[in-house]
């Protein structure tokens, strides 16, 4: 592979990556694609973090220059990479690990609502805020139960279908709503920069 560039997350910490490469240029669209397992320390691979507005770098550019991958690193048969990817995504999207991260975020929002005031009273006493917190908790619990359903099917050796994308969709909605809810709980204080003397801090002391 020469002169190729892709954008990915977690590339700064991963030791391996899954790479889909076209090995048959004459095959139609999703066919002719092969899946490879590539070590991130392979000669010719360069990872350049993409710095975000908040100073973080969750994504990176990965450059390939004359990269050679052993045939033994092929995952599945040649030209069957799309089938391998569909199976991998179906197994990955149980989102069980994401559920606990969202639960932790939900607890943080509850704690924030206990400390912030809205219309002269604690935000947690606002019916609208309480309703949104309850809705989010219900969605996270639905994700957990769906994830267990998918896990049970995996343990039984049953095939997973498009239903595994449900948790992916719910997760995206919950993440968006959690940001909006935090903004509404904090009110105008939420626009203050980190380390501002009036910025609202979380339980661990960060802004």
- pLDDT tens, residue by residue, 131-154: 999 999 999 999 999 888 888 887
Q: What is the CA radius of gyration of the chain?
A: 22
Residues with pLDDT less than 50, the chain: 203-207
List active site positions: 92
Q: What pLDDT is stored for residue 147 in this prediction?
A: 86
**How many C-alpha atoms does 113 have within 13 Å on its Cβ side?**
22
Q: What pLDDT is stored for residue 93 in this prediction?
A: 65
Q: What pLDDT is stored for residue 103 in this prediction?
A: 93
User: Maximum Cα–Cα distance for the chain, whole Å?
Assistant: 67
Q: What pLDDT is stored for residue 207 in this prediction?
A: 42
Kindly report, residue by residue over 65-92, the tens digit of the pLDDT: 999 999 999 998 898 898 888 777 766 6
Kindly report, residue by residue over 39-48, the tens digit of the pLDDT: 999 999 998 8
Angle between helices 96-115 and 127-155 (to 10 degrees): 170
Q: What pLDDT is stored for residue 31 in this prediction?
A: 86
- Cα–Cα distance for residue pair 143/125, rounded to 1 Å: 27
- The pTM of this model reads 0.66
Domains, in order of start, for the chain: 4-81 (2.40.110.10), 93-191 (1.20.140.10)
Please check whether residue 36 is in contact with residue 23, taking contact to mean a CB–CB distance below 8 angstroms. Answer: no
């Amino acid at each position: 592979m020469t002169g190729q560039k892709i954008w990915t997350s977690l590339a700064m910490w991963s030791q391996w990556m899954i790479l889909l490469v076209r090995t048959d240029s004459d095959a139609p669209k999703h066919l002719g694609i092969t899946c490879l397992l590539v070590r991130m320390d392979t000669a010719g691979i360069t990872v350049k973090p993409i710095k975000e507005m908040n100073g973080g770098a969750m994504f990176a550019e990965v450059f390939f220059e004359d990269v050679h991958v052993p045939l033994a690193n092929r995952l599945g048969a040649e030209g069957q990479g799309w089938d391998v990817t569909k199976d991998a995504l179906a197994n990955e999207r149980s989102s069980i690990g994401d559920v606990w991260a969202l639960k932790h975020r939900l607890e943080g929002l509850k704690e924030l609502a206990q400390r912030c005031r809205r219309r002269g009273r604690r935000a947690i006493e606002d019916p609208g805020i309480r309703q949104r917190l309850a809705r989010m908790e219900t969605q996270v619990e639905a994700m957990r139960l769906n994830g267990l359903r998918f896990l049970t099917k995996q343990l039984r050796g049953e095939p997973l279908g498009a239903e595994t994308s449900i948790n992916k969709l719910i997760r995206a909605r919950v993440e968006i709503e959690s940001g909006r809810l935090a903004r509404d709980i904090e009110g105008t204080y939420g626009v203050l920069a980190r380390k501002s003397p009036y910025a609202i801090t979380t339980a661990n002391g960060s802004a």
